[in-house]
Every structure is written in C-alpha cells, then in structure tokens.
Amino acid sequence: MQYNCNHSYNYIAWGVRRYICGQYFLCAFACEVLVRLKIIAGLEFGNRKSIWYYLFMDVVTKTIEETKKVAEKFLAELLSRKDEATLVALSGDLGSGKTTFVQQCAKIFGIESKVTSPTFVIMKKYPIPEFSKRSNLNALRFFVHIDAYRLKSGEELLKLNWQELISDPQNLIFIEWPENVMSVMTQNALQISFKSLDETKRRIVL
C-alpha cells in the first residue's frame, strides 16, 4: 500500500488553517463581547467598574426622576482622576437629554445654582459644596459645564483656558457636543450618548 505524502500534507495544512481560523473567530467574538460590555473602554479610561455596571447602563428613561437615578448610579461608580480633570463627553442630538443629565448630576452634588445649557456663554463653572463631596470624588472642587454647540473647532475652546481646566484634577467637566472640539479632547474622556426615542423617552448609553 503506497503512502501518499502529499495527501497527508494537505490534510495537515487544512487542519492547521481550520484551527487558526477558529481561533481568529473566537478572538473576534470575544472582542465583540468585551466592546459591547465596554470592558475594553473601562480599562482604557482607568476606571474600576464591575461587569454588572456595564451590563445595565444602557437604559431608557421616561421621566426626569429616572434620569436622576441613572446620574446617581454613574456618579457612584465614577472615579476622579489624579493627574488631570475628570472629563465626561455627552453626545446626542438637540433635545436628547444631555443638559437634563448634567442638571441632575449638579443636584446630586448639592449645587443650588440653576444649571442651564451654556449655549451662548459656552462654559459655566460651579463650586462643589463641601458637604456634598462623595467619598469616590472627594478631590473634586469644581463642576464645569461646557456646551460646544456653537464652536467650530478645538482652537476656539483653547481660548477659554481649556488647557488649564483639563489639567486640574479638581475639575469635573461635562461637555456637550464634544464632536465639535475633538482635536482637544483627551483620550481619557468618558463617553455618554443620548438619543430621543419620542416626546418623553430618552435612551442613555454609558
């Protein structure tokens, strides 16, 4: 009986290719799962969050009270940065709930001033009351709200002392329309997206 070396070689090569392809698709699937759970993003941002946090932070709210609960959960998990400001980028169309979310965060911090979208003044800065300091955010001293809707580039934001703001670990910065100033956004910015589903429903993805 003659042994066919070529046939054996082809069979082995086929097996190796199949194994490699299998491993590739397995890795691709695992990466997709991680991205969907935002674990990869969490590691990139340096935040220590549980898997359950990521599983349940894609929510639909119908009332301001429900939005406040999302804000409370977000702030409870948030860790202030030690080497720079803590930056939160809020993306979404007009009326999708970005400003409402910022307002609820401000209330949770005990800020009594009326927080409105700084569309025309671009930026508003509020001191965080001492009594409202949270254990995970006790290094923060200022709550900064920026609306970049009217800005056309990051250069315009630089004129508003952006570098000074972003380099101060005492600042918690919420910026609406970050896509307008992407050139000056830091890689550690936390991303939150908003979408209006109808007149009352808003989808929030953290």
Q: What is the pLDDT of residues 2-13, one digit of tens each?
A: 445 555 555 565
Tell me the one-letter amino acid at 24. Answer: Y
pTM of the entire predicted model = 0.72
List % helix, strand, coil for the chain (3-state, nearest 5). 45, 20, 35
In a domain, 149, yes or no: yes
Question: Are 180 and 148 in contact, with CB atoms under 8 Å apart?
Answer: yes
In a domain, 118, yes or no: yes
Question: Are 102 and 144 in contact, with CB atoms under 8 Å apart?
Answer: no
Q: What is the pLDDT of residues 147-202, one digit of tens each?
A: 999 999 999 999 999 999 999 999 999 999 999 999 999 999 999 999 999 999 99
pLDDT of residue 15: 59
In a domain, 53, yes or no: no
Backbone angles phi, psi at 123, to 5 degrees: -140, 145
Question: Are 194 and 91 in contact, with CB atoms under 8 Å apart?
Answer: yes
Q: What is the pLDDT of residues 58-111, one digit of tens each?
A: 999 999 999 999 999 999 989 889 899 999 999 999 999 999 999 999 999 999
- The CATH number of whichever domain residue 77 belongs to comes to 3.40.50.300
Instruction: Print burial letters for 142-165: b (CB count within 10 Å at least 16), e (below 16).
Output: ebbbbbbeebeebebbeeeebeeb
In a domain, 14, yes or no: no
pLDDT of residue 176: 98
Mean pLDDT of all residues in 124-137 = 82
| Helix (H) / strand (E) containing 146 | strand 142-147
Least confident piece of the model among 28-32, 129-133, 148-152, 183-187: 28-32
Question: Are 160 and 57 in contact, with CB atoms under 8 Å apart?
Answer: no
Residues spanned by the domain of 136 = 58-205
Determine the length of the chain: 206
In a domain, 32, yes or no: no
In a domain, 139, yes or no: yes
In a domain, 182, yes or no: yes
Number of domains in the chain: 1
Give first-to-last CA distance, the chain, whole Å.
Answer: 66
In a domain, 19, yes or no: no
pLDDT of residue 48: 44
